[in-house]
Amino acid sequence: MLVVVGLDQDFNPRRIERYLVLIRASGADPVLVLTKADECEIVQDCIDLLLEVEESGVPIHAINAKDKASVAELAPYLGPGHTVVLVGSSGAGKSTLTNTLLGREKMKTNTVRSNDSRGRHTTTSRVLTPLPQGGCLIDTPGMREVKFSGDEDIVDAFEDIEALATGCRFRDCVHGNEPGCAVQAAIEEGTLDEARFMHFVKLRDELEAAAVTQAQRRAEEALLQKAAHKRNKDKLGRR
């Protein structure tokens, strides 16, 4: 899955991290494609910012989606036997990238709002296209938001913290103020970056909240189903 993010006001490391957690949970391999590099003066700073919180080695490409030579570096993902799906906000450049890879204007594209870089939801359905490179590509409509369902796991994204946690005194340590916390010790020693830990905490809390919401929803559904079942039984019983 190519996560397509514009190097304009679309650029948001927190959202990118949520994409990566969701994609890893699905079993697909994420690749980060930063578009509009030709219009951004701080490309390397943006990449550095991502590297700070993202240590799992996701490939990052900063490109000009309108330029054939620039998008050529995506070739390793596009060969025979590969299917890539482009995901990202509206206006990120998914369809622009699709057209450049195809070498023709198959998909309609549209300018973004100048004040906040938002797109106009130009693509409205998913489109699967064979590529001249031999693989297949799916362009998709821009996503309005990226949220967790509650089934995801952040272990893969934070293997370093999970490994440290095995050294905590308590098995259910949340790495707050517990005595004998190996994670806090690593932060104090400087072997674990505090910003990275804070980011882990934020994602963990978001995931927990999503899991609770999901559990409540399932419980409500089960109750509704039980009530419907009873109604049916009563009705049939009367006949």
Ligand X SMILES: Nc1nc2c(ncn2[C@@H]2O[C@H](COP(=O)(O)OP(=O)(O)OP(=O)(O)O)[C@@H](O)[C@H]2O)c(=O)[nH]1
CB of 56 to ligand X, least distance (A): 25
- The binder of 183, among ligand X, Zn ion, Mg ion, none, by C-beta within 5 to 8 A per type, is Zn ion
- The binder of 117, among Zn ion, Mg ion, ligand X, none, by C-beta within 5 to 8 A per type, is none
65 makes contact with ligand X (CB under 6 A): yes
- Select from 35, 89, 123, 184 the one that contacts Mg ion (CB under 5 A): 123
- Select from 23, 112, 181, 192 the one that contacts ligand X (CB under 6 A): 112
- The binder of 135, among Mg ion, ligand X, Zn ion, none, by C-beta within 5 to 8 A per type, is none
- Subset of residues 183 to 202 that bind Zn ion, contact rule: CB under 5 A: 183
| Contacts by residues 20-28 (CB-CB < 8 Å, ≥ 24 positions apart) | 20/54, 20/56, 20/58, 20/157, 21/148, 21/152, 21/153, 21/154, 21/157, 21/203, 21/207, 22/146, 22/148, 22/152, 24/152, 24/153, 24/156, 24/157, 25/151, 25/152, 25/153, 26/1, 28/1, 28/85
d(CA 22, CA 154): 9
168 makes contact with Zn ion (CB under 5 A): yes
- Select from 35, 89, 95, 100 the one that contacts Mg ion (CB under 5 A): 95
29 makes contact with ligand X (CB under 6 A): no
- Select from 1, 92, 164, 165 the one that contacts ligand X (CB under 6 A): 92
- The binder of 65, among ligand X, Zn ion, Mg ion, none, by C-beta within 5 to 8 A per type, is ligand X
100 makes contact with Mg ion (CB under 5 A): no
- Select from 104, 121, 231, 233 the one that contacts ligand X (CB under 6 A): 121
38 makes contact with ligand X (CB under 6 A): yes
Sites of contact with Mg ion (CB under 5 A): 94-95, 122-123
Q: Provide the binding-site residues for ligand X, judged by CB under 6 A.
A: 35-36, 38-39, 64-66, 88, 90-96, 109-112, 119-123, 141-142
Rule CB under 5 A: which residues touch Zn ion? 168, 173, 175, 181, 183
